[in-house]
Amino acid sequence: MTRALPSAQMRDALALWLEGRRAMDSASDHTIAAYAHDVGQFLGFLAGHLGGAGGLAQLAQVTQSDMRAWMAAERGDGLGSRSLARRLSAVKSFARWLAEREGYDISAILAARAPKYARSLPRPLSAEAAREVIALAPLQSREDWTGARDAAVITLLYGCGLRISEALGLTGTDLPLGDVLRITGKGGRERLVPLLPAARAAVAAYLRACPYPMTPEETLFRGARGGALSRRHIAKVMEQVRLQLGLPATATPHALRHSFATHLLAAGGDLRAIQELLGHASLQSTQVYTAVDSTRLMEIYAQAHPRASARPKTQGQ
């Protein structure tokens, strides 16, 4: 793909848009970096495709043919359908913002359709496997306090449906633990999550064993040297436990959050309530668990009745 450096005006506009996204949407550094890369790639393509780094009005010159050429070039570089859809979404958001500021017509950009892709379903653990993971987690450490810490983190992921970043983002200000946790999730959205007795007990056991003083400004879960515990460590613990239990590679820390939602739904949980517990901005994100639950039910049915579909019909059926 031929790319060129976008104009200084366009780069300044991109920087201003990113600043606005960070301020208005409370987007994380990772999200901002993804936006900068996605839109930057598009602007670089335009500069090369249209012959030189034009000014801000270059977006108004884009045709549907140009958009098809860009998407074809991205696919030619090996970008998958899901990633291209995400990149197109970022491009449209930036273009819409710039068009509103400058009064441009960007119909061709907004009319571009994202490629269809099959949404991958979450891969939850069974309830039994989740319990085994929690039981084996503390055995991966040489010291009792770090084992209690790992068990507490993993219990929060499964018992409360927290993201790993949310669990590791807890601080001394969240103590003492009560019946609910106030969690600040993606986009700065706050939610209240019920704290199960098992999760509260696991955190309490860790706090009793932790050799470091717990102050309001310090993170709740501490590394071996007293600093903040890393996500990579919990991922490593899950990897070790997964191998010991013979679980698939999809048994990651995030799979525990999927398991929390799937098991709640299977037990008759309301979809709206699960959405609030997970902190999803849209119900569409939560609805994926209905597909997971249906898929699991069909798997159980097939195992219980392996020849049901092959059974010949009797006369009169």
From the list 87, 92, 233, 280, the catalytic residue is 280
Whole-angstrom distance, CA of residue 209 vs CA of residue 264: 31
Active site residue 233: no
Residue 206 near residue 105, CB atoms below 8 Å: no
For tokens 């299977």, what's the residue?
266
Catalytic residue among 149, 163, 200, 233: 163
Residue 257 designated active-site: yes
Facing residues of 184 across strands?
190
Active site residue 186: yes
What are the beta bridge partners of residue 181? 193
> From the candidates 92, 200, 222, 257, which is the catalytic residue?
257
Residue 305 annotated in active site:
no
Write the DSSP assignment of 87-156 as a string of letters.
HHHHHHHHHHHHHHHHT---HHHHHPPPPP-PPPPP-PPPHHHHHHHHHHGGGG-SSHHHHHHHHHHHHH
CB 63 within 8 A of CB 107: no
Rounded Cα distance, 141 and 163, in Å:
22
Q: Could you say which of 11, 186, 191, 296 is catalytic?
A: 186
Does residue 6 have a cis bond before it (omega within 30 degrees)? no
Hey, what amino acid is at 122?
Answer: P
* Radius of gyration of the chain measured on its C-alpha atoms: 24
Q: Is 280 a catalytic residue?
A: yes
Annotated active-site residue in 289, 296, 311, 313? 289
Adjacent-strand bridge partners of 190: 184
Please tell me which residue in 86, 96, 254, 296 is annotated as part of the active site: 254
Active site residues: 163, 186, 254, 257, 280, 289
